[in-house]
Amino acid sequence: MKKLGFLILILSIFLTSCNNEVTKNNHSDKKAKNVILFIGDGMGVTHIYSAMTVSETPLNIESFKYTGLQKTYSASDYITDSGAAGTALATGKKTKNGLIGCDSLGNHFKSILKYAEEDGLSTGLVSTSSILHATPAAFIANNISRYNYQEIALDFLKTDIDIFIGGGKKNFEDREDGLNLIDSLKSKDYQVATAIEDINLVDFQKFAVFTAEKHNPEYRNGRGDMLPKATEKAIEMVSQNKNGFFMMVEGSQIDWGGHDNDIDYIITELLDFDRAIGKALEFAEKDGETLVIVTADHETGGLTLVGGNINNKTIEVNFSTDYHTADMVPVFAYGPGAEEFTGIYENTDVFHKMMQALGLE
Ligand code: MG
Ligand code: ZN
């Protein structure tokens, strides 16, 4: 009896220490191994429905089973800008318009990309604008102005982001401080290229792909399939990591179509963005451990469908502003943890839900 008691004591110590191990290292509450976040800049519900109406085939966005709505207001304004909204999605904290990853005193907020990196996950950013523009910058930089592009470029060197694809080369090499950050990237073992086709996965390393000096061209002006291809390539690279990955893909120019009150610009950008989402869903379906989130930072243009014909696939639209609006924006989720994204919540909750899914919070 004494022996049995001793055995039970030993066994329970063993089990307790095992349990601790599980919580500490393997994230017992972890739902997803990978997260791919898609941000359609300026993409409201009406932008999506407009594209759905004119498209010959159903959009990939339509296949998501879990949907929600998020409130986009910033710490300073009912109507947010992409800096504050990007910061909310990336760091879980609301800030003032114009700021990137910090408060107005310059106190830094830590992004999900950095939490993921610290936990041994691979990380990636893909954008159809400059990679230094507000939305991608919110995931990697901390700056009291979203327009300090040269300082934001320096922040890329302070991380070990595994792959980034987008425009913005000029601010890495043609700089007021005389530094050549392309050389700095190379000395940090980055493979630097100007075309997605030029990078090779020989053994897993880091990639910086500059597809434009500043922003990439509009889709209708010859961007081609840069965004779907970049998304596919980035997934191929970061999915080599057995610990998992976090990646953000931005359809930047849906917003610019909204600012221009140009429905053709909006729809061509949105359909291209949707094809990129298709690439991620293809991977996630096979992989089974990947959470795919599609959302926006805010609505742009105050877009309204005032007429149209569902059979003829025609639409008639009105814009009420050439800036952003305060509208709630949709959230679409697929994969492990997707059910957490239903309902109405703050933009900052998108961060917390993704962190929870990865077992980082
Ligand atoms: Mg943007
Ligand atoms: Zn905008």
pLDDT in tens, 194-224: 999 888 877 658 999 999 999 999 999 999 9
pLDDT tier at 24, thresholds 50, 70, 90: very low
- Gap from CA of 128 to ligand 1 centroid (Å): 9
Domain count, the chain: 1
Distance (Å) from CA 147 to ligand 2 centroid: 13
Q: Of 82, 111, 130, 252, which residue is the catalytic one? A: 82
Distance (Å) from CA 93 to ligand 1 centroid: 18
Please determine, for residue 15, whether its predicted confidence score (pLDDT) is greater than 70: no
pLDDT at 30: 78
CB 91 within 8 A of CB 204: no
Confidence of residue 326 (pLDDT cuts 50, 70, 90): very high
d(CA 196, CA 82): 26
Quick check: helix, strand or coil at residue 6?
helix
**Phi, psi (rounded to 5 degrees) for 343:** 100, -170
Q: What are phi and psi of 332, to 5 degrees?
A: -120, 135
**Residue 27 domain-assigned (yes or no):** no
Q: What percent of the chain has pLDDT over 70?
A: 91
Ligand with an atom nearest the CA of residue 253: 1
Closest ligand relative to 41 C-alpha: 1
The answer to whether residue 38 sits within a structural domain is no
Containing domain of residue 296, as a range?
54-305
Question: How many CB atoms within 10 Å of residue 222?
Answer: 9
Do the domain assignments include residue 151? Answer: yes
Average pLDDT value over all residues in the chain: 93
What pLDDT was estimated at residue 5?
A: 52
Respond yes or no: is residue 111 known to be catalytic: no
Centre of ligand 2 from the C-alpha of residue 215, in Å: 14
Specify if 74 maps to a domain.
yes
Spell out which residues have Cβ within 5 A of ligand 2, the ion.
255
Q: Is 320 a member of any domain?
A: no
Model confidence band, residue 22 (pLDDT cutoffs 50, 70, 90): very low
**Residue 11 pLDDT > 70, yes or no?**
no
CATH number of the domain encompassing residue 107: 3.40.720.10
How far apart (Å, rounded) are the C-alpha atoms in residues 357 and 354? 5
| Confidence label for 23 from pLDDT (cuts 50, 70 and 90) | very low
CA–CA distance, 97 with 73 (Å, rounded to integer): 10
Which pTM was predicted? 0.92
CA atoms of 42 and 85, how far apart (whole Å): 11
In a domain, 333, yes or no: no
CA distance 216 to 227: 10
pLDDT confidence of residue 3 = 52
Identify which ligand lies nearest to the alpha carbon of 80.
Answer: 2
Residue 348 in any domain: the answer is no
Q: For residue 357, is it within any domain?
A: no
The string of pLDDT tens digits covering residues 161-200 is 999 999 999 999 999 999 999 999 999 999 999 999 888 8
Report yes or no: 337 and 356 within 8 Å, Cβ to Cβ: yes
pLDDT tens column, 82-126: 999 999 999 999 999 999 999 999 999 999 999 999 999 999 999
CA of 11 to the centre of ligand 1 (A): 55
